[in-house]
Amino acid sequence: MKLGIVGLPNVGKSTLFNSLTKAGAEAANYPFCTIDPNVGIAPVNDERLIQLEKIYESGKVIPAVIEFVDIAGLVKGASKGEGLGNKFLSHIREVDAIVHVVRCFDDSNVVHVSSKVDPINDIETINLELILSDLEILERRASKTAKSVKADKQLQKELDLIEMIKERLEQGLCARTISFEEEDAVIVRSFNLLTYKPVLYAANVDEESLAGADNEYVGQVTRLASEEGSEVFTVCAKIEEEIAELDDDEKKMFLNELGVSESGLERLIAASYKLLGLISFLTAGPKEVRAWTIQDGTKAPQAAGKIHSDFERGFIRAEIVNCGDLVRLGNYNLAKEKGLVRLEGKEYTVKDGDVILFRFNV
């Protein structure tokens, strides 16, 4: 799962990206991740792993991760190729969701590209580039589809959807503001539109606002986001960068002083998980305890496939215990005796926090 961090220049994207990646997940454990300086992996904080590690004394804990891509270079005119614009837009096409960083802090030392802090204007500037790029995609798709529609009547549906989305985009609104029936949504997703990707607006605020001071900019972003059904969360990128440098104890103390229990990054990662409809299942043993990311609704064999394709192909059954039950009893065999370890088959839908042992044929 990949999230792209976008926003105008100088709003704090790189600062946020650096603190996310500094939070440190060892890349060697995640062979699927892209190796690129603009791509970083951030661990998903999960208290359950620590608890399981105490039971198994495995000494090795591997959290789930989310990939973040720092997509710099989006400026006014990007869709027309300004500032390498099109290249950056194509990077956004590859991500599953977007974190849109919006400057909500005043600081005369940090230049604003349009010389005034104005979050709504900033958001609209970026969204307009995405909208223009989507319109271009839809034009191309429409002319291709129109050629084949005589031979395949099914395609009329696609043309109708394209028309409907174009109308919305031409009003300056994002495609995600339209709600589709699932059947149509499948077609719309195949267009891979930038403005149909889920978005989290990250309001980058100053220290005072983080501590609870009123911030009118955040209010503006929140209103805009709620109109399009998106989420907002507040973060102070500068502080996150400082927190990322601290060790665990120092971090706890620092957060305590700020009066919060989790760092902004931890909240961001949790919110991204929710936005993408993701959950974690866990594996635990004397060698390692580990969290694995799956889409909510994934069946047991496909979950097994996340670990290894052989596990999916040769899937027989899964032995499952709820993490909370296991931690409470402190021992797998005891959980088994109490009948809390279930045997599940191919049709089982994996739940968040399931501790799973897969049985498979090789």
- Could you say whether residue 206 binds ligand GDP (CB under 6 A)? yes
CB of 275 to ligand GDP, least distance (A): 21
Give DSSP secondary structure letters for 16-37: HHHHHHHT---GGG-TTS---T
What's the CA gap between 262 and 23, in Å, rounded?
A: 13
- Could you say whether residue 10 binds ligand GDP (CB under 6 A)? yes
The correct pick among 50, 81, 93, 110 for binding ligand GDP (CB under 6 A) is 110
Give DSSP secondary structure letters for 254-273: HHHHHT-SS-HHHHHHHHHH
Angle, helices 13-22 vs 264-275, to 10°: value is 90
Q: In terms of C-beta density within 10 A (0-12 exposed, 13-18 middle, 19 or more buried), how is residue 284 classed?
A: buried
- Could you say whether residue 237 binds ligand GDP (CB under 6 A)? yes
The correct pick among 6, 11, 278, 323 for binding ligand GDP (CB under 6 A) is 11
- Could you say whether residue 238 binds ligand GDP (CB under 6 A)? yes
- Could you say whether residue 107 binds ligand GDP (CB under 6 A)? yes
- Could you say whether residue 105 binds ligand GDP (CB under 6 A)? yes
- Could you say whether residue 303 binds ligand GDP (CB under 6 A)? no
Closest CA to 61 of 224, 288, 317: 288
Name the one range near ligand GDP by CB under 6 A: 105-113, 172-180, 255-263, 270-278: 105-113
Contacts to ligand GDP from residues 158-197, by CB under 6 A: none
**141: three-class secondary structure by DSSP:** helix
**94: three-class secondary structure by DSSP:** coil
Of the pair 174, 210, the CB lying nearest ligand GDP is at 210
- Looking at the chain, which runs of residues are DSSP E strands? 2-6, 39-43, 61-62, 65-70, 97-103, 199-204, 231-235, 278-284, 289-295, 315-322, 342-344, 354-360
Of the pair 128, 334, the CB lying nearest ligand GDP is at 128
Residue labelled with tokens 């990949």: 2
Of the pair 7, 305, the CB lying nearest ligand GDP is at 7
- Could you say whether residue 204 binds ligand GDP (CB under 6 A)? yes
CB of 207 to ligand GDP, least distance (A): 8
CB of 97 to ligand GDP, least distance (A): 18
Of the pair 11, 194, the CB lying nearest ligand GDP is at 11
- Could you say whether residue 68 binds ligand GDP (CB under 6 A)? no
CB of 18 to ligand GDP, least distance (A): 8
Residue labelled with tokens 């976008």: 6
Q: Residue type at 14? A: S
The correct pick among 3, 4, 6, 12 for binding ligand GDP (CB under 6 A) is 12
> Under rule CB under 6 A, how many of the chain's residues touch ligand GDP?
17
CB of 7 to ligand GDP, least distance (A): 6
Name the one range near ligand GDP by CB under 6 A: 8-16, 115-123, 143-151, 264-272: 8-16
- Could you say whether residue 263 binds ligand GDP (CB under 6 A)? no
The correct pick among 3, 6, 15, 341 for binding ligand GDP (CB under 6 A) is 15
What's the CA gap between 231 and 201, in Å, rounded?
A: 6
Backbone angles phi, psi at 238, to 5 degrees: -65, -45
Closest CA to 177 of 234, 122, 130, 235: 130
Return the structure tokens found at 224: 């805009």
- Could you say whether residue 7 binds ligand GDP (CB under 6 A)? yes
User: Which residues are near ligand GDP by CB under 6 A?
Assistant: 7, 9-15, 72, 105, 107, 110, 204, 206, 236-238
